[in-house]
Structure 1
């Protein structure tokens, strides 16, 4: 019998995931075996006859389960980026096993007593700042996982956690299935009037894949959004918008309405069991914001400031729509008329700009920016196994070597410097890939036994595929998306902490978007744009007037976009502070977002049933963090603007912030970088002048 590759030491470059050797049937037995091994590690720590110390309890726990973490990362990343029916079925079996294992750890009384003893006697240990953080976070993590509960309540909590993991997984699977279930087949090209030729070529390719004549539009973002933006056929826009808004809402096989009520009810039960008024209070205790009241105050302050701007913007669009005979503009008209207005105001058109943003060149630019700011070098490699042929892999090196001389670090010949990270990039939509864009990791950075284990980072997007005669070309929004996800990637790549659970993006959730949103700012800087915005056929640099227009248009529809984000944030907070008020998902959603809605609500559509960020992802009671982080990124970039956007001294300070991960309080990290706390005025000034 062939040994299970997932249980072996990976004999691959940088011990990377051996994707081409993994069989789907390897996963379940690997998880079962690795959970047993990890349980044995935990029991050894808990039953250690020696008195508990920081090293034999807290540190030992931080390093435990390394192989299980790696296999979990491989599996769940595949479930997002290259899933199929079999992987989804395995996920349904594996998720409760992992949740049960996690509960066993957090409810291991013997282990907790050791942790509590070290925590209560922490003054006697000579701990550095990172060790103090690890100790505090470990103790608090156990308490927040139910370590102080009685046995009956511990069992209740374990059941709630298992139910939540299963229902969240099902929610995401329903959204993916609902997205994939719809496509619009169009035979008459006239019905697609206004849509640029490059997009039509992609629609024709999608039709061919389905053995159909003509064109196919799907609900995948690179297909859906251009139709909503350019299609003159209002009936087509309406049909697509209805299909998109009905995802997992139409009462069919993949409906999520009942799952939403079940998920928020379970979260409320969990919060009450642990002594909190509601789930938002439970979550926010471990965020920079700290309380639901502070989040509501923050969101409502922005709402008050942004609403007049948003109303003025939509009035301009309604004037354009009336000229076309539309008396009552609908949400499915917004993107179309916003593009018209943008064209009028700035003479900018996404399709005119796309030839200047070839994906490969945009990637080169973001790599170059990382090189200029942080001394990183990227080298494409072809000996690293991939989970799909479209994935590309890169070794990242650091010219400067800040690590301590006694640490073992792989150093390559030439001037590339020390190996820093392995990077996977995966850019195009597929049937087995969920929508959107994200950064994740296959392996975290940490230091152990004098060796600095470097991370394996992945950036996943859904950009238009190249066609037979055209490379992949990006809209400007997709350019900013790539920079956003690469900002997250840099948080992982530059990680330089002792412990894996404080490394990279393992920070307070409302701090995690700072690096991503910060990097987007460079896309609007003329001096930087000129270095890569070049026509894919002629090499001509995007003309100065267009570059100036991009910079000027940065805040176009900012009021509308702000209200849209605030609507999501307020809805998220409502679900997690008023779970008992949710009788009908659509009614609740309409009521809670009415202050941010600028168009009539359609009774046939709803956002909540496909709101994966809060019902599948980690943004529950945390969606506000996008706007929270905008305050941070606006303030941080203002600091660069005042001193030069490539200023090496400030870049060095920012690099310390990124490399520190979760080893310090994020506000302390920010103040060490900036010299002061962030000011909301920085965001308001950038957004509204």
Structure 2
């Protein structure tokens, strides 16, 4: 989330962080009580609200123990009112519009609203409960209305347009020009040029989409945590001891002593699908996982999707675009739906061919074992794991014993130190919102503090699924030397007390990925908050994160940090070599999983008219047209596809693949130097990518780092699709 005039993305990011819970037993009572308190609250009482006090904490981090749920609504109401007054002061100025008195002033406006929003929406994603969810449903449309009022303020846009139209004579810096162009464009894209009647319609659409996004996220979380697969010890055949321990810990957390529980968190269900020899239980787990939000119950998301897709199409057309996809991509690197689709289809056919080969291997394995049933979606991971072991002598359970959380934290910090000279010093005096959260002070090579890094790595019932990076504060220089406060979230299984946290190799890659995002926020070195850190298009924001993933895969990193959780011995070189040899195994499956989701995303958002949308049939129709294998489903089925229906990736899920072109080609810059920490390449990476925010054209930034335009060669090679 960005603050002030960039509140539109604040809301989008806020929704992306949303969690959900059951309806409060008496939500009316809860909300009425808060509202009555607000209406009666005197000025002196309001000053006791922690959001309107100075935070005398290290780095001005949020004082979580002082913040109560009842504080949020009055804080939102007052900070929105204050923001409106600040905007009014700009529009009512007697002086002619200039960059400083209009654009810079807008950047500084709304600081208190930003502070409240960042804390609230980070907590709804990690510490969700009935009261917070009821409040989220109330606050999200309030924020949308507030943002609409600003973006559709004719007097404000008139001043912005004046500065924009006179920009050539204003002697602006490149960063100021970039900000002005972006701000002007954002006003136009949110309806500034519409008639009054059209703006009212757009405001109504935006508010409803905000409500639906919140509803979608809450439904997804509710439906996910309503499912548990409770097992007896006799049901655990095939699972490693670490997996059994994690399942036992999940059962204990649910007050089921002596039992074992598989949840729909990816870190729990995927290993179960890989290793459990109980096909009947794999089927139950798989169907629970695949059907999140699609169970025809109170948490069903199909109607929500249909309405949201329809509203997005109407909004795009109101703004002069053919469809939502055209609207989104006109402001991205890809620039058009045709360009994004071209990329997806370039990898789709090679992936289909690769998956056909993988399916043949799996069926041969099944035949060798005398299996008579047909290959189903809940069988693929299980038999693929057997093929992996047979062909490469590679056991994912064995690999996981070398990926222990503490070592992986050390590894990702080590890479940041080697590349950028950073130091990470753990602090225990920084307030946290949950006892499992850890905090590090980040220092540059000269020992100067550049920010704080929070790590929240464990799954819990109050936390939404997935992994993500967010911020309690972003870097800027306009309001002083403001240090960023960045957070990474994951959903690892919390081990039994006293046991170490083991993760899959995939989890380790995700850990590095999210830390790449974190560094993008921590290393930001810009003046204006709207341009800071990760505030860039979706098909650029993933590049720094995905590039960082490559480091954990390097043999020298594995040898140094992949150490056995019991013996502390380094991963044997022979095992490292087998991992390298198997690196493209099952990539047909993985590529189809991802690309299928991206193709459905694009299909939804290229619709120009939406009537009687049947979500299940739509998915099937789209993917049947492209020849998707029956045994492979979308990585994210529509009804739990939070990226596009509760986050900021609508018509942009392709961005991960787009960024993979950049990261694969970009990491080759280090490999070509035969030094994965080559200082000259690392300096370019910092200067053109991690520190730049949105201050430089993305193609120019990439060429500045790489010395040339990117090619798809490395992507196809890394996925084994060439």
TM-score normalised by structure 2 residue count: 0.91
Asked whether 1:536 is paired with 2:565, we answer yes
Equivalent-residue separation in structure 2 for 1:554 and 1:440 (angstroms):
30
Report if aligned partners of 2:380, 2:631 keep a CA contact under 8 Å in 1.
no
Equivalent-residue separation in structure 2 for 1:48 and 1:548 (angstroms):
68
Instruction: Choose the corresponding residue for 1:394, options 405, 430, 440.
Output: 440
Instruction: Choose the corresponding residue for 1:428, options 438, 453, 458.
Output: 458
Q: Which runs of 4+ in 1 moved over 6 A?
A: none
* Structure 1 residue aligned with 2:388: 342
Report if aligned partners of 1:331, 1:599 keep a CA contact under 8 Å in 2.
yes
SS at match of 1:511: helix
Root mean square deviation, CA, Å:
1.6
Pairs within 5 Å for 1:493-532: 493-532=522-561
Instruction: Choose the corresponding residue for 1:200, options 234, 238, 244.
Output: 244
Asked whether 1:176 is paired with 2:206, we answer no
Deviation of residue 190 (structure 1)?
A: 2.5
* Structure 1 residue aligned with 2:144: 99
Report if aligned partners of 2:430, 2:439 keep a CA contact under 8 Å in 1.
yes
Query: Cα gap change, 1:557/1:582 in structure 2, threshold over 3 Å: closer, same or farther?
Result: farther
Instruction: Choose the corresponding residue for 1:63, options 108, 122, 140.
Output: 108
Report if aligned partners of 2:164, 2:184 keep a CA contact under 8 Å in 1.
yes
* Structure 1 residue aligned with 2:712: 680
Moved more, 305-314 or 224-233: 305-314
Asked whether 1:301 is paired with 2:346, we answer yes
Deviation of residue 327 (structure 1)?
A: 4.1
* Structure 2 residue aligned with 1:662: 694
Equivalent-residue separation in structure 2 for 1:675 and 1:361 (angstroms):
34
Moved more, 459-468 or 172-181: 459-468
Deviation of residue 326 (structure 1)?
A: 3.8
Asked whether 1:549 is paired with 2:594, we answer no
Deviation of residue 48 (structure 1)?
A: 0.9
Give per-residue Cα distances to partners, 1:40-74, cap 9 Å, x unaligned. Answer: 11111111110000111111112211221121111
* Structure 2 residue aligned with 1:358: 404
Asked whether 1:134 is paired with 2:176, we answer no
Query: Cα gap change, 1:168/1:394 in structure 2, threshold over 3 Å: closer, same or farther?
Result: same
Asked whether 1:160 is paired with 2:205, we answer yes
Query: Cα gap change, 1:423/1:510 in structure 2, threshold over 3 Å: closer, same or farther?
Result: same
* Structure 1 residue aligned with 2:378: 332
* Structure 1 residue aligned with 2:414: 368
Query: Cα gap change, 1:628/1:602 in structure 2, threshold over 3 Å: closer, same or farther?
Result: closer
Instruction: Choose the corresponding residue for 1:276, options 318, 321, 342.
Output: 321
Instruction: Choose the corresponding residue for 2:619, options 589, 600, 612.
Output: 589
Asked whether 1:316 is paired with 2:345, we answer no
Pairs within 5 Å for 1:40-119: 40-119=85-164
Moved more, 54-63 or 151-160: 54-63
* Structure 1 residue aligned with 2:235: 191
Structure 1 unaligned residues grouped into runs of 5+: 401-416
Deviation of residue 537 (structure 1)?
A: 2.2
SS at match of 2:492: coil
Equivalent-residue separation in structure 2 for 1:142 and 1:128 (angstroms):
21
Report if aligned partners of 2:597, 2:636 keep a CA contact under 8 Å in 1.
no
Report if aligned partners of 1:249, 1:606 keep a CA contact under 8 Å in 2.
no
Equivalent-residue separation in structure 2 for 1:327 and 1:624 (angstroms):
35
Asked whether 1:250 is paired with 2:295, we answer yes
Query: Cα gap change, 1:327/1:255 in structure 2, threshold over 3 Å: closer, same or farther?
Result: same
Query: Cα gap change, 1:596/1:84 in structure 2, threshold over 3 Å: closer, same or farther?
Result: farther
SS at match of 1:460: strand
Report if aligned partners of 1:438, 1:485 keep a CA contact under 8 Å in 2.
yes
Report if aligned partners of 1:582, 1:588 keep a CA contact under 8 Å in 2.
no
Report if aligned partners of 1:586, 1:606 keep a CA contact under 8 Å in 2.
no
Deviation of residue 612 (structure 1)?
A: 0.8
* Structure 2 residue aligned with 1:378: 424
Report if aligned partners of 1:314, 1:598 keep a CA contact under 8 Å in 2.
no
Deviation of residue 323 (structure 1)?
A: 3.2
Moved more, 301-310 or 390-399: 301-310
Equivalent-residue separation in structure 1 for 2:211 and 2:426 (angstroms):
38
Asked whether 1:34 is paired with 2:82, we answer no
Deviation of residue 378 (structure 1)?
A: 0.4
Report if aligned partners of 2:118, 2:472 keep a CA contact under 8 Å in 1.
yes
* Structure 2 residue aligned with 1:619: 649
Report if aligned partners of 1:507, 1:666 keep a CA contact under 8 Å in 2.
no
Equivalent-residue separation in structure 2 for 1:661 and 1:490 (angstroms):
11
Q: Matched residue pairs, number?
A: 670
Instruction: Choose the corresponding residue for 1:641, options 629, 652, 671.
Output: 671
Equivalent-residue separation in structure 1 for 2:622 and 2:662 (angstroms):
27
Deviation of residue 581 (structure 1)?
A: 6.2
Equivalent-residue separation in structure 2 for 1:556 and 1:398 (angstroms):
39
Equivalent-residue separation in structure 2 for 1:291 and 1:509 (angstroms):
14
Query: Cα gap change, 1:269/1:529 in structure 2, threshold over 3 Å: closer, same or farther?
Result: same
Report if aligned partners of 2:403, 2:504 keep a CA contact under 8 Å in 1.
yes
Give per-residue Cα distances to partners, 1:321-373, cap 9 Å, x unaligned. Answer: 23341442111111111111111122222221222221011101100110010
Structure 2 unaligned residues grouped into runs of 5+: 1-44
* Structure 1 residue aligned with 2:37: none
Deviation of residue 528 (structure 1)?
A: 1.6
SS at match of 2:295: coil
Equivalent-residue separation in structure 1 for 2:498 and 2:412 (angstroms):
25
Deviation of residue 122 (structure 1)?
A: 0.7
Equivalent-residue separation in structure 2 for 1:385 and 1:600 (angstroms):
47
Deviation of residue 302 (structure 1)?
A: 1.5
Give per-residue Cα distances to partners, 1:171-196, cap 9 Å, x unaligned. Answer: 00000000010111122x22221011
Deviation of residue 102 (structure 1)?
A: 0.5
Equivalent-residue separation in structure 1 for 2:219 and 2:383 (angstroms):
32
TM-score normalised by structure 1 residue count: 0.95
Equivalent-residue separation in structure 1 for 2:444 and 2:112 (angstroms):
27
Query: Cα gap change, 1:642/1:624 in structure 2, threshold over 3 Å: closer, same or farther?
Result: same
Deviation of residue 238 (structure 1)?
A: 0.5
Asked whether 1:143 is paired with 2:202, we answer no
* Structure 2 residue aligned with 1:412: none
Deviation of residue 466 (structure 1)?
A: 2.5
